[in-house]
Amino acid sequence: MHWKNSTQFSEALPMLDNLTKPYEGFPLADLSRHQCKWPVNRAQAGELHLFCGEVVQNGHPYCVEHCRKAYSSPRA
């Protein structure tokens, strides 16, 4: 993208900042049935619980990474 002036660049900074913010998760109400429902924060009662949101593994409520965690045997 070519910036014609510094004002255009300054106005784009908030948008660019959103792309580089750390992943925080998604509220359950915002997820479709095709998105991972693995909780990603340690919300207390009354706080917003956030969930992974990645594409689910076929037939499961979780993405591939979280299926591995959910369905693996505990280590001795």
Give the DSSP letter of residue 15.
H
Maximum C-alpha span of the chain: 62
- Tell me the per-residue pLDDT of 64-74, one tens digit each, with 9 for 90 and over: 999 999 988 77
Q: What is the pLDDT of residues 6-46, one digit of tens each?
A: 444 445 555 544 454 456 899 999 999 999 999 999 888 88
Q: Quick one: average pLDDT of 59-68?
A: 93
Task: Using pLDDT thresholds of 50, 70 and 90, give the confidence band for residue 3.
Answer: very low
Burial-class residue 23 by CB neighbours within 10 Å (0-12, 13-18, 19+): exposed
